[in-house]
Amino acid sequence: MHKSVAGLIPKRALLAAIAVVTVASTSVLAVDHTKLDGRMSGYQYLTPEIQALQDDDSLNPGMTVLALGEELWNKVEGAAEKSCGDCHFDAEDRMWKIAARYPKYLENIPGFGEIVGLEEQINWMRERKMEAEPYAYESDEMLALATYVAYQSRLLPVEVDTRGISQWFYNHGQELYEEQRGKLSLSCADCHEDQKGNAWLEDRLSEGQSNGFPSYRLRWESLASVQRQIRWCNELVQAEPLEFGSEDMLDLTFFVRWRGRGLFVESPAVRP
């Protein structure tokens, strides 16, 4: 049985209760889950028009990949002739809190002793358990399956565990977040803390929270992972983009996720 955040109410009942509160909206995402302790989701920095796209599941362009994600979840592949569902069964039952806890430190899985994102975990399972080829970063398959898994945690708070050895990766991620980079000599903090709310290109600078990723980016007319978003930010400050799946990239995403702890998972969010 699904549990609510408080561990007392079945998930379906929780969502139904939220829907009652939001009678004026077609989506439960209209609940004010976007503010916590002075921190705000990127949703708060959107125009009303873009907020409306995210609030209505029938209009949200990111929702269109869920069918493919479910298909991939149940697709038998690889020499082991297994699917994700063969091991994890029904995604709604078994994945409903998983994405809220990634990135995370994994020590006991062979080949890992580092921060691992949802994409890396998916590929590890494909290679080691299914004996199938890994998905390429930002491929349609990776984005669809990652979004499908993340969707199961929708409206659950982001959890980040920084205890023990995880603290080292957190500290490294914070260093990267505050490091001035590129020809413009700007850090993540310079934009997303000191300049949040100010105009940048055609948009407003947000706090750079990652609780909505994978998100549908209107600028790119496609879904995108937080890693692609970080690489784009690198390019804006004229810095060498961090490599997908690199140690620096994963430690940075770990710290960024920590900044959004407690904010609700919105994926697939809509962003400019």
Positions marked active-site? 233
Rounded to the nearest 5 degrees, what angle is found at the Cα of 204, between the Cα atoms of 39 and 143?
75
Task: State how far the alpha carbon of 168 is from the alpha carbons of 55, 120, 257, in Å.
Answer: 38, 20, 15
Beta bridge partners of 215: 224, 269
The two tokens of residue 119 are: 């994409």
Rounded to the nearest 5 degrees, what angle is found at the Cα of 242, between the Cα atoms of 161 and 126?
65
What distance, in Å, lies between the first and last C-alpha atoms of the chain?
37
Distance CA 122, CA 117 (A): 9
Is residue 173 within 8 A of residue 253, CB to CB? The reply is yes
Tell me, what DSSP letter sits at residue 156? S
DSSP string, 38-66: TEE-GGGGS-HHHHHHHH-TTT-GGGGGH
SS3 215: strand
Tell me, what DSSP letter sits at residue 102? -
Is residue 37 within 8 A of residue 262, CB to CB? The reply is yes
Helices (H), 199-246: 226-236
The two tokens of residue 142 are: 């990776």
Helices and strands (H, E) in the chain, number of each type: 11, 9
Tell me, what DSSP letter sits at residue 265? P
